[in-house]
Amino acid sequence: MTEYEIKAKNKFSFGLAELIQYRELFYFFTWRDVKVKYKQAALGILWAILQPLIMMLMFTLIFSKALKVSSDGIPYPVFAISGLLIWNIFSNGLMNSANSMVNNANIIKKIYFPRLIIPMSAILTALVDFLFALTIYVAILIYYHQGVDFVKLFIYLPLSMLITVVTTFGLGSFLAALNVKYRDFQYLLPFMIQFLLFANPVLYSAKAFTNPVINTIMKVNPIASAIQLCRSVFTGQEVDWQAVGIGSSVAILLFFIGIYTFRKTESYFADLA
């Protein structure tokens, strides 16, 4: 009988070599999650386009028409959806990854594979939605005759997505580990995400605040930096690189905190999931 030894991993190890070895399983989980998400929906994958469009229309009516929120001289639909693109990666990826270990409990108990594949594939599913949502944003830009800086498109947008994914993975893997042991998190998370939507400059400009405490919070917030970069690509707004540098550092810190927590607790996932 063949025996396999599973060696304890360094608590801060990402385990890249092993993840590459199991890459086909990673693709399988991602494709399965995409199919399951839209299988029972009559419009299927079109919801990846309709969801940000409906959100944009709703927030335009509330924040632009009713509350007269400033959008820095940019048409509000363009302003709002540039924030929603990044926000949806974060919110969907965080929700998916935080619940991913519990949702895949049966598989975890049966076979061995790098457990990090599960929250990673959950975040990749959110990136698939992002690519579809990008098409509706292009249509809105054309409608409003809004130009695109192609130099920024190939530099700022990937950087914005990278900051978002690193932040989402850090928080998602942290919450996924805690959610296995403390199921209360799956009930608290929707409220946390709703709060964070309004705590980030998704629907309003970060320039609206003059309070130094709020400005400091915005600077250390990696999602605020990611939104700022994405918005700059499509609106030409200047980027506060000091804030981006601080936000990126916080994203990296969250990444390692997430991995550490996940590695520390993964030995008993099969018992608790």
Q: Half-sphere exposure of 127 toward its Cβ, with a 13 Å CA cutoff?
A: 20
Asked whether residue 5 is assigned to any structural domain, the reply reads no
- 114 CB-near residues (< 8 Å, 6+ apart): 15, 18, 19, 22
Four-residue CA torsion sign, 141, 151, 164, 207: negative
Asked whether residue 72 is assigned to any structural domain, the reply reads yes
Asked whether residue 31 is assigned to any structural domain, the reply reads yes
Domain tally, the chain: 1
Asked whether residue 114 is assigned to any structural domain, the reply reads yes
Q: Rounded CA gap, 132 and 136, in Å?
A: 8
Asked whether residue 4 is assigned to any structural domain, the reply reads no
Is the distance from CB of 87 to CB of 223 less than 8 angstroms? yes
Q: Rounded CA gap, 22 and 113, in Å?
A: 7
Q: Rounded CA gap, 237 and 143, in Å?
A: 19
Asked whether residue 1 is assigned to any structural domain, the reply reads no
Is the distance from CB of 211 to CB of 218 less than 8 angstroms? no
Secondary element (H or E) of residue 33: helix 23-39
Locus of tokens 């594979």 = 113
CA 237 to chain CA centroid, Å, is 22
Q: Which residues of 64-73 are buried (b: 16+ CB within 10 A; e: fewer)?
A: beeeebebee
Low-confidence residues of the chain: pLDDT under 50: 1-6, 8
Boundaries of domain holding 253: 17-272
Asked whether residue 256 is assigned to any structural domain, the reply reads yes
Asked whether residue 9 is assigned to any structural domain, the reply reads no
Is the distance from CB of 108 to CB of 270 less than 8 angstroms? yes
Q: Rounded CA gap, 70 and 85, in Å?
A: 19
Please give the pLDDT value at position 2: 43
pTM of this prediction exceeds 0.85: yes
Q: Rounded CA gap, 17 and 14, in Å?
A: 9
